């Protein structure tokens, strides 16, 4: 006997914990952010990839941490195969590059914008369904590729009109060189203590791992190696004489080359070198970075080099990428006092039952104007009140062969249609030059 779903009025008015309705200004702000990011990614030569919202669970778990795998929403298809909602775009881009884009010249530049789903406690700027935009640069294992993605992350944040942010840039390859040979059960406490800048926990973890000598000294210093290029000089001195010294020094040289290129991009003022940036040990193989802003305890954008992931889908391919949380960026935008303005119409036209009015509305829309036509048959006074309430800066009514255009700056003016259409081009260039 099949159980019948129970529907109550209370449930009909609710949505699950961790998801959100976005409407009116919220929807406009998010779509505006998405459009801006698509534009900047395209200007940098990236092309959009639109992967499916769900696919086979085993594909989506490639490269995923144990915590991320636990957060996935899983379900079954009619054949009993396990599916999952995507919790991360990168495995999907990796699968696509390895199986569908093998005939494309390298490097590949891809970007994406869409929803991710994770069953975890909602955080500031992130629900259980949230929007992420990102890029992947595939097939180039060079400092130039690393620098491009970091510089693009800064361009993306600036496109969203964020001001007070910085990007912490680290080098996982350096940490890997320093911890080579440590067993996994000893390595993770060391990595976690460094990532959390917890010197006391780090001392305990190093003692329990049996790490001594110069290697212990350098690992103990990692949480404090933060700043400009001078931290690389200090790290080189500490790494001298280590048995893993050549790999460590090579990693530092790579990081310095990336920093020099970022200086050439003109964004070095946004960069803080942080050798204690050691998230994602199982995932990242080279540089890692996080974009942070005051007042938000979570990264807005993060990324790094992950050269081992795509090989899991049968095609070894170097890769570096970024992911940007759009809701978090909008939250910072609001905290910094520059939320995107709502998108109202340029003009409210009276007379939706008049063919001439509808024809004019069509011509204005062809010019790029946002036009609302009054469907209520309001008189002039009520039309003005409606426009004020809806933050529409102008009203328009027909008077014989002319049009009465009203706004607060110029009052009401009678214009011929040709004059009106000419003036309408300025509404698009300066949409806020007239307010009721």
Average pLDDT over every residue of 203-219: 90
Strand partners, 325: 132
In angstroms, the CA 36 to CA 50 distance is 17
Q: Which residue has the higher pLDDT, 411 or 150?
A: 150
Q: pLDDT tier at 339 (50, 70, 90 boundaries)?
A: low
- Virtual torsion, Cα 146, 149, 151, 155, nearest 10 deg: 180
151-181 in b/e burial notation, b at 16+ Cβ within 10 A?
bbbbbbbebbebeebbbbbbbbbbbbbbbee
Q: What is the CATH number of domain 347-429?
A: 3.40.50.800
pLDDT at 340 over 80: no
pLDDT at 104 over 60: yes
Q: What is the pLDDT of residue 4?
A: 57
Residues 6+ away with beta carbon under 8 Å from 203? 220
Q: pLDDT tier at 430 (50, 70, 90 boundaries)?
A: low
Indicate the length of the chain as a whole number: 436
Distances (CA, A) of 81 to 2, 53, 248: 22, 16, 44
Q: What is the pLDDT of residue 433?
A: 47
Q: Say what percent of the chain tops pLDDT 90.
A: 73
Q: What is the pLDDT of residue 436?
A: 44
In angstroms, the CA 249 to CA 254 distance is 9
Give 143's Cβ-side CA count (13 Å radius).
16
Average pLDDT over every residue of 307-324: 97
Q: What is the pLDDT of residue 431?
A: 53
pLDDT tens per residue, range 70-84: 999 999 999 999 999
pLDDT at 198 over 50: yes
Q: What is the pLDDT of residue 5?
A: 59
Give 346's Cβ-side CA count (13 Å radius).
21
Indicate the average pLDDT of the chain: 91
Instruction: Retrieve residue 112's tokens.
Output: 């994406």
Of residues 374, 336, 367, the one with CA closest to residue 353: 374
Own/partner long-range contacts of 368-376 (Cβ < 8 Å, ≥24 apart): 368/428, 369/424, 369/427, 369/428, 370/343, 370/344, 370/345, 370/346, 371/345, 371/346, 371/347, 372/345, 372/347, 372/348, 373/348, 373/349, 374/348, 374/349, 374/350
Q: pLDDT tier at 281 (50, 70, 90 boundaries)?
A: low
pLDDT at 284 over 80: yes
Q: pLDDT tier at 352 (50, 70, 90 boundaries)?
A: confident
Instruction: Estimate the share of the chain in helix, then strand, then coil, as percent rounded to the nearest 5.
Output: 45, 20, 40
Q: Which of 92-101, 301-310, 420-429 has the lowest mean pLDDT?
A: 420-429
In angstroms, the CA 204 to CA 199 distance is 9
pLDDT at 394 over 90: yes
Please name the residue ranges forming H helices in 302-379.
Answer: 326-335, 355-367
Omega prior to 228 cis, within 30 of 0:
no
Average pLDDT over every residue of 78-92: 97
Q: What is the pLDDT of residue 243?
A: 75
Q: What is the pLDDT of residue 342?
A: 58
Q: What is the CATH number of domain 17-165+293-335?
A: 3.30.930.10
Task: Judge whether 215 and 187 are in contact, CB under 8 Å.
Answer: no
Average pLDDT over every residue of 393-403: 93
Where in the chain are the domains?
A: 17-165+293-335, 347-429
Task: Judge whether 175 and 247 are in contact, CB under 8 Å.
Answer: no
pLDDT tens per residue, range 29-69: 999 999 999 999 999 999 999 999 999 999 999 999 889 99
Q: What is the pLDDT of residue 183?
A: 84
168 φ, ψ (degrees, to nearest 5) = -85, 120
Q: pLDDT tier at 338 (50, 70, 90 boundaries)?
A: low
In angstroms, the CA 261 to CA 264 distance is 5
Q: What is the pLDDT of residue 2?
A: 55
Tokens 């390859």 correspond to 173
DSSP result, 98-110: HHT-TTSPSSEEE
Of residues 53, 152, 139, 73, the one with CA closest to residue 102: 139
């Amino acid at each position: 006997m099949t159980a019948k779903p129970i529907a109550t009025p209370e449930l009909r008015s609710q949505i699950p914990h961790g998801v959100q309705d976005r409407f009116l200004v919220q929807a406009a702000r998010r779509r505006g952010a998405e459009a801006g990011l698509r534009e900047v990614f395209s200007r940098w030569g990236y092309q959009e990839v639109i992967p499916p919202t769900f696919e086979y669970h085993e594909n989506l778990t490639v490269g995923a941490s144990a915590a991320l795998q636990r957060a996935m929403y899983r379900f079954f298809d009619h054949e009993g195969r396990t599916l999952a909602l995507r919790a991360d775009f990168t495995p999907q881009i990796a699968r696509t590059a390895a199986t569908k884009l093998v005939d494309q010249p390298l490097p590949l530049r891809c970007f994406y914008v869409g929803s991710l789903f994770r069953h975890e406690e909602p955080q500031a700027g992130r629900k259980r369904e949230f929007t992420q935009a990102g890029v992947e640069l595939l097939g180039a294992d060079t400092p130039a590729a690393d620098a491009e993605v970091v510089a693009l992350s800064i361009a993306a944040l600036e496109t969203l009109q964020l001001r007070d942010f910085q990007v912490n840039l680290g080098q996982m390859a350096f940490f890997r060189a320093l911890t080579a040979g440590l067993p996994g059960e000893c390595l993770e406490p060391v990595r976690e203590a460094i990532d959390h800048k917890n010197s006391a926990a780090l001392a305990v973890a190093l003692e329990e791992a049996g790490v001594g000598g110069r290697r212990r000294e350098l690992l103990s210093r990692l949480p404090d190696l933060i700043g400009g290029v001078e931290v690389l000089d200090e790290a080189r001195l500490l790494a001298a004489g280590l048995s893993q010294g050549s790999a460590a020094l090579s990693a530092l040289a790579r990081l310095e080359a990336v920093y020099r290129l970022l200086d050439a991009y003109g964004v070095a003022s946004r960069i803080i070198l942080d050798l204690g940036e050691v998230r994602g040990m199982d995932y990242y193989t080279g540089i890692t970075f996080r974009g942070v802003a005051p007042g938000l305890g979570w990264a807005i954008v993060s990324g790094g080099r992950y050269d081992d992931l795509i090989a899991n889908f049968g095609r070894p391919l170097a890769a570096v990428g970024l992911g940007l949380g759009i809701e978090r960026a909008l939250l910072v935008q609001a905290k910094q006092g520059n939320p995107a303005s709502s998108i109202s119409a340029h003009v409210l036209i009276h007379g939706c039952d008049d063919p001439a009015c509808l024809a004019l509305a069509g011509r204005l829309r062809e010019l790029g104007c946002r036009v609302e036509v009054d469907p209520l048959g309001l008189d002039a006074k009520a039309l003005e009140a409606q426009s004020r309430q809806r933050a529409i800066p102008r009203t328009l009514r027909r008077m014989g062969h002319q049009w009465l255009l009203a706004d607060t700056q110029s009052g009401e003016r009678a214009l011929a249609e040709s004059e009106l259409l000419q003036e309408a081009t300025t509404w698009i260039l300066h949409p806020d030059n007239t307010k009721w």
